[in-house]
Structure 1
Amino acid sequence: MKRIFLTLAVAASVLVGCQENAKDEALPTQEAIDMSDFYVETEEVSQKGGFEQCQSMRVLNRQLKENPGLYKKMYDIEYATRKTITEKGKPGGGSGSGDVDVTPIEDGLGIINIPVYVHVVYSNSNENISDTQIASQIRVLNEDFRAQNSDLNLPSGTTFANDVTDAEIEFTLANTFRYSNSKTSWGTNNTVKQAYPPITPETHLNIWVCNIGGGILGYAQFPGGNSVTDGVVCSPQYFGDTGYVESPFNRGRTMTHEVGHYLNLRHIWGDGRCRKDDFVEDTPSSDAANYGCPSYPDVSCKSADMTMNYMDYTYDACMYMFTDGQRNRMRAIFQPGGARASMLN
């Protein structure tokens, strides 16, 4: 009897020890997911140069007021994104300094291909952009997200040469839909999406090309928003680099920027001065957007701004890179259970 009791006691102690070890092993992952800097709603940012460039954050602010549950959804997506990056590679969340060694995570996804539906909504012949112009935009997206753009020429002396990355994300045009409509300005309240709803947004990127008006180039919906408004809107004169395009936003980078938002990237300056960040460690903190074609280095928050990043507001000719941290962040949402994982099925 004593021998049996002793055996049971030893087994119990081993079981408890295993449970304690299991708890200990689980704790570091949980503790590593620091969400203390998370934010969603942002300040209103004044624009320069007559262009209301990207309206994605203002659209998000409005959606947060209209949908009280959106904050929680975006919090959960952010948590899952940081957890994926923490478990599969070096960190990609938290306060960015721009001098952190972030490497591409090994996520096992290979090259991600996103099928695209383009909805052309036009009130005149110029807005009814050609198939050639549409093809040029798909080409630009592929070049930019694969770091195959011919203008990838970092200026001498920049500290960002090691941060340029191939996101391994590609885009394929699945179909184009054309709609004639007498409406001459669609604004940013998703009216165009209500008139022409997205098609299978869970598996396709939907893009609406229409005159937004007010000098607005484009806007996108972040992961977590309502599926009936999911996608990206772009004014026709800033779509692609061939045909009906207007300088200085005539190289298709408006869509590169907006698709970045669609894939969960924030603006490079975090929409909140030096005290807020874009949740990417290898992009430096900045106090505001950059415009035009700044000379390097353009310094704010005690470091050089990454003005050539696609998620800033510089001219198309002066933006030409994503970073490894941004790559990791975009790809994390395609992991099983991720916000855009259904696009891979």
Structure 2
Amino acid sequence: MCTNGLGMIESAIEHVVYRRLCTTSAKILHIHDLDRSSTVSRCCISRLDHLVFDCFLNVAHALLSIKPHDEEGIKLIPGVGLGLLVILSIMLFTAFVTLAFGVSSALAAPFTNRTVTCASTPSAEEVAAAEAHFASHKVSAKLGPNAKFAATIPVYWHVLQSGSSLSQGNIPENQITDSIDVLNAGYEGTGLTFTLAGTDRTTNANWFQRAAPSTSFQTAMKQSLRKGGANALNVYTVGFTNVASSYQGLLGYATFPSSYSRAPTDDGVVIRYSSVPGGTAEPYNLGQTLTHEVGHWVGLYHTFQGGCAEPGDYVDDTPPQYDGPGGPTSGCPEGKDTCPGGGLDPIHNFMDYSDDFCLTEFTAGQTVRLQQQISTYRGITV
């Protein structure tokens, strides 16, 4: 009798909590029209580092509002104490997360346990040298949000693949055009427009799997495929599936404008193929990896470049941001402040590491800088 009663309680609570957890998780993640298992998995696995506690709080909130007859019409056994309900719900939630980890670890691991997001990280010495050169060669034209700066940048898209399937890198054309749309939306107001000038597809397992910064594979790939001059954006989509451990989970990297004259064939942007709109690299699958890496290609540093000390990222209107553990943003934590006194961290800035849905803006100062950078080094002028 007792065993049967507890079974009924567990079943009822599991149903109620599971349903409410799915709903609240979807609200937290700004995700709609997803089935229950995928929503909870996204909440408790894809963003475990900063959302699992939110998930648990929502479970507790749901329990506190349970009535003898739930909205679903499930009747709970009278007289069961709230403490027992909480204990049982925690057991169920823990079991669910454990099971979810076992089922989904292969998909989630590259992005929850990644060692690097972007490999466009010049050293302090490299930045100092580049900025000294820029200061002495910078264009003198009046540029900025109110200037009528207008330039069209041709984009050559190189699809690298190890086979013919999507999982082998063979992304469809619509994901490429969607990427260009996202890119133009992000750079609206900067005076830049990106136009797809051409797409090619190359089946080369080594290039797809092993291309990474400073490798012979990426050198050969770029030397073979790159098109256009300094003003042409070359985008390479690869897998990063067989790279050094230091690049575990890498999303992308790019060259800076000032390096073009030294190594023109190396110029361009390399991104993970699954980070394009509709890809599988959640929560980095809305296309903002490309927006971020193109930011480097037009001369912007990470918002956390240089940490809390001046001159930081060499842009006056981006608040200082710590560059050590906990500095680069994960998720979309409103109110984050790693350099007290300098303003809240710019978590919505495209040059931070926030989840794709959180990235929405460049500052006016970044606009001025990118216009000056590409005018100086890429020959792109008003």
**Per the shorter chain, which TM-score range?**
0.5 to 0.7
SS of residue in 2 equivalent to 1:233: strand
The secondary structure found in structure 2 opposite 1:134 is: helix
8 A Cα contact 2:111 2:249, kept in partner? no
CA gap of 1:220–1:334, structure 2 versus 1, over 3 A, is closer
Give the SS at the match of 1:121: strand
Instruction: Tell me which residue corresponds to 1:330.
Output: 370
Report the equivalent of 1:280. Answer: 315
1:50–1:331 CA distance, 2 compared to 1 (3 A) = same
**Corresponding residue for 1:104?**
145
The residue that corresponds to 1:215 in the other structure is 249
| One of 337, 355, 359 as aligned partner of 1:298 | 337
Give the corresponding residue for 1:42.
none
- Does the alignment pair 1:228 with 2:265? yes
Q: For structure 2, which runs of at least 5 residues remain unmatched after alignment? A: 1-109, 242-247
Post-superposition shift, 1:78?
4.1
* Alignment-mate amino acid for residue 304 of structure 1: L
- Cα distance in 2 for partners of 1:273, 1:71 equals 16
Structure 1 unmatched ranges of 5 or more:
1-46, 65-69, 90-102, 147-165
Letter in 1 for 2:256: F
* C-alpha distance after superposition, 1:63-110 (max 9, x if no partner): 96xxxxx975653224434x63xx637xxxxxxxxxxxxx7353x5x3
* Larger radius of gyration between Structure 1 and Structure 2: 2
Distance 2:238 2:124 in 1: 21
Aligned mates of 1:245, 1:206 — CA distance in 2: 23
1:173 aligns with 2:191: no
Deviating more after overlay: 263-272 vs 298-307: 298-307
Aligned ranges for residues 105-254 of structure 1 at < 5 Å?
106=147, 108=148, 110-124=149-163, 125-126=165-166, 127-146=169-188, 166-183=189-206, 184-189=209-214, 191-197=217-223, 198-213=226-241, 214-225=248-259, 226-239=263-276, 241-242=277-278, 244-254=279-289
Call closer, same or farther: CA 1:286–1:73 in 2, change over 3 Å: closer
- Give the structure, 1 or 2, with the largest relative contact order (CA under 8 Å, sep 6 or more): 1
The CA RMSD over aligned residues, in Å, is 2.7
| Paired positions, count | 250
Sequence identity percentage: 30
Higher share of residues assigned helix: 2
State how far apart, in whole Å, the 2-side matches of 1:120 and 1:277 are.
35
| Alpha-carbon separation, structure 1, partners of 2:124 and 2:268 | 16
Distance 1:61 1:330 in 2: 20
Query: 1:163-189: per-residue Cα shift (whole Å, max 9, x none)?
Result: xxx212110000011100122232222
TM-score, L = length of structure 1? 0.66
User: What is the distance in 2 between the residues matched to 1:266 and 1:203?
Assistant: 19
Q: 1:340 maps to what in 2?
A: 378
Structure 2-normalised TM-score? 0.60
**Match in the other structure for 2:71:** none
